[in-house]
Structure 1
Amino acid sequence: MAKFKARPPSDDPEVQARAQARAEVARARELRARERETARIEAERKAAEEKRQREEAELAAQLAREAAELAASQERKSAELEAKKALRDARYAARKAKAKVKR
């Protein structure tokens, strides 16, 4: 009981100064926590943006590869068709030449 009686009243300037100091420390702590949270959110946003840009670049590269493969495939098919046509024309010409020789 004596412990509580020795305690200064709440309107004592020293008690108010300590309470104000504790409140300032709490506000500063809360401000630092908000700054850390803001920095964390900004870092996450930046990481997400970089990931999105990387994915877009990968997709663009993949589309370019697929387009190049398609063009190469079409070129090969065209060359094969021309080669077949040349062989067919050569057989036709040989058959015509053979028919002329028989006459």
Structure 2
Amino acid sequence: MLRSVSGMKQKDFGERLSAARNAKQAMADKFRQRPRPDDPAVAERRAAREAVSAARDARIAKREADRLAENARIATEREAIAVEHAEQEKRAAAEKKASDAKLEAERKAARDARYAARKARK
């Protein structure tokens, strides 16, 4: 083995090949140690994830149903208010029509009285 200027050992080609082979072997061993899809621990984790996902979906569906129910309630209230408002306008229009008719009758009566008084003077 040769020593470099800095005092570190230089690796020859064989040592570098051996180190690369050992690194590849370590990566392959690490990959092989991973649990397989049929492993009980993997199945358990998958089931837990699915349960969490199902619970999340249920919460989302409940929120959506609550939102739709609230929107329906608000729409019903708005419709009731609109109907009440329309009825009030209808009553106000009927009262105005009756008031106008009464006023017109009073005017006609006053006009007829004036006419009768004028006739009586002659």
TM-score, structure 2 normalization:
0.75
- Counterpart in the other structure of 1:35: 62
Gaps of 5+ in 2: 1-26
Q: How many equivalent pairs are there?
A: 95
Moved segments of 4+, more than 3 Å: none
Give the counterpart letter for 1:70 in structure 2. K
- Partners in 2 of 1:51 and 1:4 — Cα distance? 64
Specify the SS of the correspondent of 1:39.
helix
Give 1:9 deviation, angstroms.
1.1
Give the counterpart letter for 2:95 in structure 1. A
Matches within 5 A, 1:36-55: 36-55=63-82
Give 1:4 deviation, angstroms.
2.5
- Partners in 2 of 1:5 and 1:90 — Cα distance? 123
Gaps of 5+ in 1: 96-103
Identical positions, percent: 31
Q: Which structure dedicates a bigger proportion of its chain to helix? A: 1
Give 1:26 deviation, angstroms.
0.6
Q: Pick the aligned partner of 1:77 from 89, 96, 104.
A: 104
Larger radius of gyration: 2
